[in-house]
Amino acid sequence: MSEKLYLKIGDVAKKFNVNTSLLRYWEQEFDFVKPKKNAKGTRYYAQKEIDNLSIVHYLVKEKGMTIQGVKDYLANRKSEKSLEQLNVISTLKKTKELLTGVRDILQKRK
């Protein structure tokens, strides 16, 4: 199974279950989210940007933080350890989604 190197904004929005306008807003608010753009302005998100969006999504949507709260949190906790912890949470969520998908496939086979 091969993954794309870059995803378009619509695909990323579906992944996080948000509108594309929210992703564009987060792009303006957080300087570490900078997707590549082609001549037409189409955004292409590499895995690094998707991981960064995952951190923002977790803090805003799941922890209920405000945009300014996320900025303050990241500014005050810029240590590698805190970002590493957020990446671990992201990885665990991806693993859970994968395992849930496998479980659903196995249950359909019964």
Please tell me the predicted confidence (pLDDT) of residue 80: 55
pLDDT band, residue 58 (cuts 50/70/90)? confident
pTM of the model as a whole:
0.68
Please tell me the predicted confidence (pLDDT) of residue 1: 41
In 3-state terms the chain splits into helix, strand, coil percentages (rounded to 5) of: 65, 5, 25
Please tell me the predicted confidence (pLDDT) of residue 79: 55
Mean pLDDT of 59-83: 81
In eight-state DSSP terms, residue 5 is S
Picking from 79, 45, 86, 84, the residue whose alpha carbon sits closest to that of residue 65 is 86
CA separation, residue 76 to residues 52, 54, 70, 71 (Å): 17, 19, 10, 9
Please tell me the predicted confidence (pLDDT) of residue 82: 63
Class of domain 7-77: mainly alpha
- pLDDT (tens digit per residue) in 11-50: 999 999 999 999 999 999 998 889 999 999 999 999 888 8
Beta bridge partners of 37: 43
Phi, psi (degrees; rounded to nearest 5) at 22: -65, -40
Q: Could you give the 3-state DSSP secondary structure of residue 59? A: helix
